[in-house]
Structure 1
Amino acid sequence: MRLTVLGCRQGMPADGQASSSYMVSTGSARVLLDCGPGAATALSSIAHPSDLDAIIISHLHADHCYDLLTLGKTLLSGRLRDPERFPTLRDAARMEWPPVPLYVPKGGRARLEILASAFPVPSFPMLDRSFDVAFELHEYEPADVFTVGDCKMTMHQTKHSLPNCGTRIESPEGSFAFTGDTTYTPDLVPLAQDVDLFLTEATLEEPDTTSHGHLCAAEAGEVAAAADVAQLVLTHFITADETWLKARKADAERSYGGPVHLAAPGRSFDIRPAGGTR
């Protein structure tokens, strides 16, 4: 199992870095976790959207889902340019082509259809059908479990200003958990319990006292220690400043004794079963 960081910025892209987006791959599955602005460009350097076996969106803030429309139009454009399979636009709507499974929080379909309708292409209406043709859209709820390739996915509710679920992935190649966006909650411990790699937001310098819902790096380290994870990767940063990032790494290391890494675009991490990493 392998984690590849596509984007790690909180909010909108900055300093050449895309917003939240990550790919977890095994021998039989490639799963995209979140798809914020800039993710489509970053993904294009390593894979085509049709190579993905699933996309999972933690929550419906724009910095975690906006580039879904770009990926959808990329998938649809590829179909329309294949004259052997799609000789006419009318035939394209009927051709059998496996859509990419897309998992979003309950209520996400309506929001994404509004996004697609905001940018119509009247001369090629097929390009407006990202969320009913390019993707096979599923709305999930907390505690839902589903399978992608050799991976078991479990959705864990966390605490954010919009409904957010962390994703736990278990496969014969290793185990992994991702928080999405959340303030501290005891529910983070079962999400991450004993995983081989824990990817967690570490947006803030101090604990969140607002209703928005974000973690600081010290809290991320505390969760990692309580859950006995093998490796910790911090992400969702407000800056690329090296001094600030090193300080957040040190914050996490004060409570968690295992390896602490900082996410960066293009950086990859091997994820191996606990016997091979602890």
Structure 2
Amino acid sequence: MKWTVLGCHSPYPGPGGATPGYLLETKGKKLLMDCGSGVLSQLAKITELHTLDAVLLSHLHHDHIADFFVLQYAVQTAIKTGKRQGPLTVLAPQYPEKWGRLLAYHQAIDLHPIQEGDPLHLCGLAISFFQTDHKVPCFAMRFDNGAACILYGADAGPQTKWDKMGTNPELFICESTFLEKDMPLSPMGHLSARQAAIAGESMGAKRLLLTHLYPEYNPNHLYDEARPYFSGELTVARNGLVIDVGEA
């Protein structure tokens, strides 16, 4: 499995950056996780947009779906021109209903609701969804190819039950929205870099990727805050970063 960072900022992209989006490639298949502002221009550097096999949207906040509505156009155009033979498989929450209704688009999108529970088998992967602590329905995703697994934590606050998501992922992608000094007094459905590191350590993750970064932060400060709390390999996300995780 190969995980590529297409966007890692929030709530808006920094210069040349993008809000959350990640490409997971496995055995010739391409899955896009989240599709924030600027993600498609980064994705187009790697592959033609119409070649995606599936899109998985963790939740329906603007910073995670802004470019999805442009992707609808790309898929519809590819079908009309014969570059693509069928609709794009999309898995996403249904709520907030206002945005859930807009995910379908003519014949371009084959839409399926995300549900916590039994694994879905897609593109040779067992995929499990786990609801996180967030303001709207939001789902972490665990991808298992039989030899290795990746856990994408999506947006997740301090009350997220990480222990229900399994242990020892080879790669844990976790949001680090805040430095501790900037944490709000009341939980906001987001984590600090320190909290992300503690979560990664508690589940025995081998590698932790800090993401969902405020674009005005110095990435070194996030790394320095997390480092004492995580014993494995620690990385701060940046556009174009590629992480290889063992194949079956």
Do the structures match in fold with TM over 0.5?
A: yes
**Within 5 Å, which residues of 2 pair with 1:56-205?**
56-82=56-82, 97-107=85-95, 111-114=99-102, 131-191=105-165, 193-205=167-179
Partner of 2:237: 263
Give the direction of change, closer, same or farther, for the CA distance of 1:202–1:232 in structure 2 (3 Å limit).
same
Q: Which has the higher helix share?
A: 1
The secondary structure found in structure 2 opposite 1:253 is helix
Secondary structure of residue in 2 paired with 1:133: coil
1:108: Cα distance to partner? Answer: 6.1
Paired with 1:145 and 1:132, the residues of 2 have a C-alpha distance of 28
Q: What's 1:224 paired with?
A: 200
Query: Contact 2:20 / 2:39 at 8 angstroms: preserved in 1?
Result: yes
Which structure is larger by alpha-carbon Rg, 1 or 2? Answer: 1
Quote the offset at 1:109 in angstroms.
Answer: 6.9
Provide the secondary structure at the position in 1 that maps to 2:140: strand
Q: 1:194 and 1:23 mapped to 2: Cα distance?
A: 22
Equivalent residue, structure 2, for 1:42: 42
- Check the 8 A contact 1:177/1:192 in 2, yes or no: no
Please give the root-mean-square deviation of Cα atoms over the aligned residues, in Å: 2.2
Distance in 2 (alpha carbons) for counterparts of 1:53 and 1:13: 26
Q: Do the aligned partners of 1:29 and 1:151 also contact (CA within 8 Å) in 2?
A: no
Kindly tell me: are residues 131 and 181 of structure 1, through their superposed partners in 2, closer, same or farther at Cα, counting changes over 3 Å?
A: same
Secondary structure of the structure 2 residue equivalent to 1:168: strand
Contact 1:157 1:166 in 2 (8 A): yes
Contact kept in structure 1, 2:75 and 2:88, CA below 8 Å: no
Q: Which residue of 2 aligns with 1:11?
A: 11
Q: Deviations over 1:199-238 (max 9, x none)?
A: 0100101245335311101011101111001100001111
**What letter matches 1:171 in structure 2?**
N
Distance 2:74 2:201 in 1: 41
| Alignment coverage as a number of residue pairs | 246
Q: Structure 1 pair 186/24, CA: closer, same or farther in 2 (3 Å)?
A: same
Distance (Å, rounded) in 1 between the aligned partners of 2:166 and 2:28: 23
C-alpha displacement at 1:29, in angstroms? Answer: 2.5
Quick check: 1:180–1:201 contact (8 Å CA) kept in 2?
yes
Q: What are the superposed Cα offsets for residues 117-176 of structure 1, whole Å, 9 maximum, x if unpaired?
A: xxxxxxxxxxxxx62411110111222521111111100111011111101100035210
1:254 and 2:228 correspond = yes
| Preserved contact between residue 223 and residue 234 of structure 2 (Cα < 8 Å) | yes
**Deviations for 1:9-58, whole angstroms, at most 9, x for unmatched residues?**
01122211011000111114321110011111111111123222211111
User: Is this contact kept in 2: 1:208–1:216, CA < 8 A?
Assistant: no
CA distance in 2, matches of 1:272, 1:230: 12
* 1:46–1:109 distance in 2 versus 1, CA, 3 Å: farther
Moved over 4 A (4+): none
Bigger Cα displacement from structure 2, 36-45 vs 48-57: 48-57
Structure 2 unpaired stretches of 5+: none
With over 3 angstroms needed to count, the CA separation of the structure-2 counterparts of 1:208 and 1:191, relative to structure 1, is farther
Equivalent AA in structure 2 for residue 106 of structure 1: Q
Alignment partners' CA distance in 2, 1:147 and 1:208: 39
Partner SS, residue 210 of structure 2: strand
Distance 1:184 1:208, change over 3 A: farther
